[in-house]
Chain A
Amino acid sequence: MKTKRTASVLGIVAAGALVLSACGSDNNTAPASDNSGAPAPTATAPVECGGKEALQAEGSSAQKGAMEAFSAAYDAKCSGQKLSYTSSGSGAGIKQFNGGIVDIGGSDSALSKDKGEVDAAAQRCKGNPAWNLPLVFGPVAMPYKLEGVTDLTLTAEVAAKIFSGAVTKWNDPAIAGINSGATLPDKPITVIYRGGESGTTDNFQKYLKAGSKGAWTKDAGKVFNGGVGQGAEGSAGVADAVAAGDGAIGYVEWSYAQDKNLTSAKIDSGSGAVELTAESAAKAIAAAKIKGEGNDLVLDLDALYASNTAGAYPLVLATYEIVCSKGYDADTAKAVKAFLTVAATDGQATLADAGYVPLPNEFQAKLLTAIGAIA
């Protein structure tokens, strides 16, 4: 009697679990955003599918959304070929690439000569240099949560003051001065930064240094040096923390701010307040210059950060894929070339929906040349 009852209870639980596991919607697309102003680049290139079936890439969490879009496009173009991306931060990505554990490293900062990363990568690539190929530009938003304030403008100077603790309240005259229309509450500012090493932090600090006319006195670097606020783990953690706390402000890659429906601050770089849209970011990207040699396409973003073009949102980071120029085995080289070609062509069309800005045409041309040279 007892066994029958226990067995029947177990049976009901098992059946219930099976039924509930069927629940769930297939509609997992992210909310569509207004990205009509960013056209994808137009060049195409032949793709030779084949080679290693499961490519491994690891690194920056800022490009996670983009990598997912690329890998979906890759799978569609070359069926059976996959790329899996682990988002563990730019520092970890470079380390894993230099250690030969992953095929492609994803990083928001180029390989650093000072830290020995360039040499370590050359060693991994059997004596050949590693190239930094920027495949996607991700705008960095400054999301904030402030009850009653839906429109906030910041300059690089005021942002530097906020993120270094010089300005601690929302109704400080420095902020009120550039937001003449808004009534700012008397609340303390909670700064949320990325804990750990992050390429997003590196680019944000570079922006503050280049654009704030001396208000940012700390160094740039992958670790946040502002000395104020609390750290969150990963881009998702920053977005979650900002969403949870009234009076919080942080910096995070645009796609994460969009996922959580956070309002982002507008940036006034001297020519009026500019909201972050795909158009304004694309306008800023046109000012980026390449400072790398040959096929190593490292970008010089300082000119971009210090620029004050009207209608351009200057806080944009370039995310690099770090690959070996030579030194892969034949299978891996073929698959890496195929993936990168798809990412630079078909994959760009899907980036706008994921919250990234597609490559301008001139960049794409240079990129395709570099990809073609991978052996």
Chain B
Amino acid sequence: MSDFAKVGRPATRETGSRGSAPNTAPEATIPPNPPDSGPPPAAPKVVTRPGDRIFRTLTVGSGALIVVMIALIGVFLLIQAIPSLSGNQASFLFSRDWNADPAALAFGVLDLLLVTVFSSVFALLIAMPVSLGIALFLTQYAPKRLARPFGYIVDLLAAVPSIIYGLWGLYELAPALKPVSTWLNDTLGFIPIFATGSSNLAIGQTIFTAGIVLAVMLLPIITAITREVFDRTPSTQIEGALALGATKWEVVRTTVLPFGRAGYISASMLGLGRALGETIAVMIILASTSQHFGFSLFDGGDTIASKIARAASEFNDPRGAGAYIAAGLVLFVLTFIVNAFARYIISGHKEYE
């Protein structure tokens, strides 16, 4: 008990002593209740000093600022979008055509939404296993000397600007993927996702190419977080598994993966959020088309973000611009849902509380 007192905890006092000089007398700490001493004493008042109050204000202020900013962005999107939505002659959520001419507004976000979700999910499906492999390699299999520089290189992928990814995808990856796309289309063309789409796959400006580039952009995000999570696996569990005679893979399978699963899923959801909002790379790689989305990897089209970016230089009429902002609002809500879902997944796990 007296050892506790020697640790410099801020002392608790009776009423009237707020803001006074720091207490150095260890005897002023509360003695623990003896088991039969009757009702417990009244809850002690907490001492707060100016530093506490300033720090608390700053932190609460920062948190509130973020909430206010998000709310303001949401309000801005709504205010700009509502006039156009009310003048919209087509169903906003279910129409597949997009005409933002202010004189004849008839825009529907369904096609854009489908392309956005389809390309992001495709990118995620490619990125998830690769990131898992990289994270496992870096934490479990690589020698420590190799792990650190290798980790830096993977993080370097996040530093490449997305326009560079776009240009690389358009000029290097698209021609390089031509044999793969052609083979997939020829042999597996009966499956709808590999069927011939609205974008010529010899040119390569398809969702297939864009999805692969997006996957490369997601890798550093998912890997960084997953790596941290896997590092936090309690060493007692790992040692216990090893003591029971598990091989390296069995250790990973029984201790690291179950422990890190929630973190891995939420990292992937973060990556998905990034992919949904990716603008420039998709705008450069994906060819626009007038045909509707046909659920094929070899389709062209626009995601919500790339459609807005393409039209951004022509935002002179507020009603026309409002149509695009309404689409942006849909993306905003979608990303919010994805991130909320990610938070929900980790909220059930005590190790992250």
Contact = CB atoms under 8 A, between A and B. Distances in A.
A310 interface: no
B200 A247 contact: yes
B229 to A, nearest CB: 32
A248 interface: yes
A348 to B, nearest CB: 31
A230 B205 contact: yes
Given A88-B313, A229-B290, A230-B205, A244 B175 contact: yes
Interface string B280-296: 00011001111100000
Interface residues of B, number: 22
Interface string B190-223: 0000000011101111000000000000000000
A231 interface: yes
Contacts of B291: 228
A230 B202 CA distance: 13
Interface of A, secondary structure class, is loop
Contact of B202 (A95, A195, A227, A246): A246
Interface string A219-234: 0000000111111110
Contacts of B52: none
B9 interface: no
A244 B290 contact: no
Contact of B284 (A92, A227, A233): A233
B172 interface: no
A230 B287 contact: yes
Contacts of A231: 287-289, 300
Contact of B287 (A88, A226, A228, A232): A232
Contacts of A89: 313
Interface of B, secondary structure class, is loop
Interface string B33-75: 0000000000000000000000000000000000000000000
Contacts of A92: 313-314
Given A230-B205, A231-B288, A95 B199 contact: no
Interface in A90-111: 91-92, 95
A190 B203 contact: yes
A302 interface: no
Nearest to A244: B203
Contact of B289 (A229, A247, A248): A229
A91 B314 contact: yes
A102 to B, nearest CB: 13
A196 interface: yes
B316 interface: yes
Q: Give the most central of A190, A244, A248: most B CB within 10 Å.
A: A244
B200 A230 contact: yes
A230 to B, nearest CB: 4
Contacts of B174: 244
B18 interface: no
B290 A248 contact: no
A95 B313 contact: yes
A245 B310 contact: no
A231 B311 CA distance: 14
A197 interface: yes
B251 to A, nearest CB: 34
A254 B287 CA distance: 22
Nearest to A228: B290
Q: Give the most central of B287, B291, B314, B316: most A CB within 10 Å.
A: B287
30 contacts: A88-B313, A89-B313, A91-B313, A95-B313, A95-B314, A190-B200, A190-B203, A195-B287, A195-B288, A195-B310, A196-B310, A226-B290, A228-B291, A230-B198, A230-B200, A230-B203, A230-B205, A230-B287, A230-B289, A230-B300, A231-B288, A233-B284, A241-B287, A244-B175, A244-B202, A244-B203, A244-B204, A245-B200, A245-B203, A246-B202
Interface of A: 88-89, 91-92, 95, 190, 195-197, 226-233, 241, 244-248
Interface of B: 174-175, 198-200, 202-205, 283-284, 287-291, 300, 310-311, 313-314, 316
Give the top 6 A-B pairs by smallest Cβ distance, nearest first: A231-B288, A245-B203, A230-B287, A190-B200, A245-B202, A244-B203
Given A190-B203, A196-B310, A230-B300, 5 more contacts: A91-B314, A95-B313, A197-B314, A244-B174, A246-B202
